């Protein structure tokens, strides 16, 4: 396709990142896949219909970020579409949230996206085209109990997106965030296990509680998040947005 783009997706081994990578590939784009798990990336690459590149990296390591971009640039040229899907959560009352918990959330959910955005922007600006989409969370827009460190990191990520979008608005580069509620992914499985262990509910009861938390009465699917990402990639007029994919939980 004439408008095929060079894409880099972090957190591509599973969940939202994998769903986005599949959709980008199906749309005709080249997709470089980044996560810490080589096995997961190899399994995903085998499913993609289009060209792919496996670039394993721990995105909290600045040198690994540089190597990932350099690998893509050597193989294909500068990254045109950057999807920041790597992330994790943690849950604890404030009084039991350790400095290490706090720092881990900031390192992975905020500092790593900042470094990757900073690395990608010069090439995008030089080309006059770029799309950056960060997977944030509804926790970027509202606070809930027991997830202070995660919420702070996602609020920061949305702030980074908004500031970068304003700065780059006249360059042809757009920067957006997609803010899902609970998505049916391994990360939510971890949340379910945590709820079950701390409340005594069965895993099924814990999952049903998360489903009831959303007006549509179910978890969001990774493909529904990918729908919003692909919209941001397609449009030159959507920038600086935090697009809710939450089943109507937060109306804005």
Residue positions annotated with a catalytic role: 150
Burial 160-184 (b: 16+ CB within 10 A, else e): bbbebbeebeeeebbbbbbbbbbbb
Quick one: which of 110, 100, 241, 231 has its CA closest to 169? Answer: 241
Spatial separation of the C-alpha atoms in residues 79 and 118, rounded to whole Å: 12
Where are the extended beta strands (E) located within the chain? 6-10, 30-34, 52-54, 81-84, 130-135, 173-180, 242-245
In angstroms, rounded to a whole number, what is the distance separating the alpha carbons of residues 4 and 7?
9
Structure tokens at 69: 């971009």
């Amino acid at each position: 396709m004439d408008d095929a783009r060079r894409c880099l997706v972090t957190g591509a081994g599973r969940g939202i990142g994998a769903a986005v990578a599949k959709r980008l590939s199906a749309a005709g784009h080249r997709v470089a896949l980044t996560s810490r798990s080589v096995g997961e990336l190899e399994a995903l690459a085998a499913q993609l219909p289009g060209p792919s590149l496996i670039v394993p990296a721990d995105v909290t390591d600045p040198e690994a970020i540089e190597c990932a971009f350099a690998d893509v640039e050597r193989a294909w040229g500068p990254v045109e579409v950057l999807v920041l899907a790597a992330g994790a959560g943690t849950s604890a009352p404030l009084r039991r949230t350790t400095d290490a918990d706090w720092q881990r959330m900031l390192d992975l959910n905020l500092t790593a996206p900042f470094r990757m955005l900073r690395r990608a922007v010069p090439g995008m600006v030089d080309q006059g085209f770029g799309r950056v989409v960060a997977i944030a969370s509804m926790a970027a827009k509202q606070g809930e109990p027991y997830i202070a460190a995660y919420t702070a990191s996602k609020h920061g990520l949305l702030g980074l997106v908004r500031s970068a979008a304003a700065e780059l608005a006249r360059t042809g580069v757009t920067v957006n965030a997609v803010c899902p509620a609970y998505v049916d992914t391994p990360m939510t499985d971890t949340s379910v296990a945590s709820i079950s262990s701390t409340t005594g509910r069965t895993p099924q009861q814990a999952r049903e509680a998360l489903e009831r938390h959303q007006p549509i009465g179910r978890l969001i699917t990774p493909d529904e998040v990918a729908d919003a990402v692909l919209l941001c990639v397609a449009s030159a007029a959507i920038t600086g947005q935090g697009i809710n994919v939450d089943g109507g939980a937060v109306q804005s």
